[in-house]
């Protein structure tokens, strides 16, 4: 019973990792950039949600949508202003730029007068509610996280499957040049992908808020989402979610059954094993180099 309980909370935590990893994968597939500021986008999304629900007084679900839109605009702008000029430069410089953006946004958020370095609580309608199923105690927050993630994944899958934009994005991620020749507006789509990734991060942030509160450093959780993305193969959207779930569950179980200290290191031990034995991840595509 205890085991199942741990697995459920691990799954909920894993959904958050999965959503962040989803952002990495979306951006990586479309533009071959790794966004080290994904965690900070999550933080911005959480703060936007906080602003919408406390200052503007919007109800929870509307605040979620508002935060998504606001963060999507931030993501769109970042791609347009900062990343597009260095497109085609070496991977290191692009990584450094996103790290710099992350640093800046973490610093800037503490400079906002009311925010500062305090922790904030997002008012949620289902706070503290629990469901008892058999001998299990499941908190409403966990259920909301899991259900929202499932819905979001279904929406994204539908987007890629059935809409013109989604198919164009798929084409772009397979071969940018060929997509360009086919008349797909590659540049505009890259911005759009960043916006989508940012919106996903905002959702993750708002879902995470009841578990960890909202503060300037909550974006550092992004570092733990890297293992999730790598386990999933970094190029597979379902892989990202599965990787996130694996990391979440492993972390919970390691925290309970192993000695103290393993909880934080467990995701990284898993990812190292993965990189050594199966560097392409569970769902990664293997492409051979043509000379």
What is the C-alpha separation between 171 and 193, in angstroms, rounded? 13
Short-list 24, 54, 18, CA closest to 41: 24
Q: What is the CA radius of gyration of the chain?
A: 19
**89 touches other proteins (CB under 8 A):** yes
Q: Which of 117, 132, 135, 162 binds other proteins (CB under 8 A)?
A: 117
CB of 86: closest distance to other proteins in angstroms?
6
**111 touches other proteins (CB under 8 A):** yes
**85 touches other proteins (CB under 8 A):** yes
Contact 204, 118 (CB under 8 A): no
For residue 137, what is the enclosing H or E element? strand 136-139
CB of 274: closest distance to other proteins in angstroms?
10
Which three-class secondary structure state does DSSP give residue 110?
Answer: helix
Number of residues that bind other proteins (CB under 8 A): 56
| Residue 214 φ/ψ, nearest 5 degrees | -110, 125
**119 touches other proteins (CB under 8 A):** no
Supply angle C-alpha 146, 221, 53, rounded to 5: 65
> Footprint of other proteins on residues 228-287 (CB under 8 A)?
230, 234-235, 259-261, 264-265, 268-269, 271-272, 275-276, 279, 285, 287
**99 touches other proteins (CB under 8 A):** yes
What is the C-alpha separation between 20 and 239, in angstroms, rounded? 12
What is the C-alpha separation between 246 and 27, in angstroms, rounded? 21
**4 touches other proteins (CB under 8 A):** no
Site track for other proteins across 31-70, x = CB under 8 A: -x-x------------------------------------
CB of 204: closest distance to other proteins in angstroms?
19
Distance in angstroms between the alpha carbons of the first and the last residue of the chain: 55
CB of 177: closest distance to other proteins in angstroms?
10
What is the C-alpha separation between 163 and 128, in angstroms, rounded? 39
**129 touches other proteins (CB under 8 A):** no
CB of 65: closest distance to other proteins in angstroms?
28
**Sign (positive or negative) of CA dihedral 17, 76, 51, 157:** negative
Contact 71, 199 (CB under 8 A): yes
**185 touches other proteins (CB under 8 A):** no
> Footprint of other proteins on residues 202-221 (CB under 8 A)?
216, 220
**114 touches other proteins (CB under 8 A):** no
Which residues sit opposite 131 in a β-bridge? Answer: 138
Q: Which of 56, 86, 137, 150 binds other proteins (CB under 8 A)?
A: 86
Q: Which of 4, 56, 62, 108 binds other proteins (CB under 8 A)?
A: 108
**155 touches other proteins (CB under 8 A):** no
What is the C-alpha separation between 79 and 192, in angstroms, rounded? 9
DSSP string, 8-38: HHHHHHHHHHHHHHHHHHHHHHHHS---TTH
Binding interface with other proteins (CB under 8 A):
32, 34, 82, 85-93, 95-97, 99-111, 113, 117, 216, 220, 223, 226-227, 230, 234-235, 259-261, 264-265, 268-269, 271-272, 275-276, 279, 285, 287-291
């Amino acid at each position: 019973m205890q085991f199942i309980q741990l697995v459920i909370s691990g799954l909920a935590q894993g959904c958050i990792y999965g959503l962040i990893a989803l952002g990495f994968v979306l951006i990586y597939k479309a533009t071959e950039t790794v966004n080290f500021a994904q965690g900070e986008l999550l933080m911005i999304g959480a703060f936007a949600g906080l602003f919408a629900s406390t200052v503007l007084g919007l109800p929870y679900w509307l605040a979620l949508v508002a935060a998504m839109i606001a963060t999507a605009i931030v993501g769109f702008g970042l791609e347009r202003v900062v990343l597009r000029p260095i497109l085609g430069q070496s991977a290191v410089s692009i990584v450094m730029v996103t790290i710099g953006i992350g640093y800046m946004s973490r610093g800037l958020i503490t400079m906002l007068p009311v925010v500062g370095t305090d922790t904030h609580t997002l008012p949620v309608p289902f706070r503290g509610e629990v469901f008892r199923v058999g001998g299990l105690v499941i908190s409403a927050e966990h259920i909301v996280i899991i259900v929202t993630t499932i819905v979001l994944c279904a929406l994204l899958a539908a987007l890629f499957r059935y809409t013109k934009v989604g198919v164009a994005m798929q084409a772009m991620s397979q071969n940018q040049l060929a997509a360009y020749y086919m008349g797909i507006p590659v540049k505009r789509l890259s911005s759009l992908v960043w916006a989508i990734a940012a919106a996903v991060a905002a959702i993750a942030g708002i879902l995470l808020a009841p578990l960890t509160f909202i503060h300037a450093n909550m974006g550092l959780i992004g570092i733990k989402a890297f293992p999730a993305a790598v386990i999933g193969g970094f190029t597979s959207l379902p892989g990202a979610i599965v990787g996130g779930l694996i990391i979440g569950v492993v972390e919970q179980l390691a925290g309970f059954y192993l000695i103290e200290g393993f909880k934080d290191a467990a995701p990284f031990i898993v990812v190292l094993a993965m990189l050594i034995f199966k560097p392409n991840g569970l769902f990664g595509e293997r492409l051979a180099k043509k000379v």
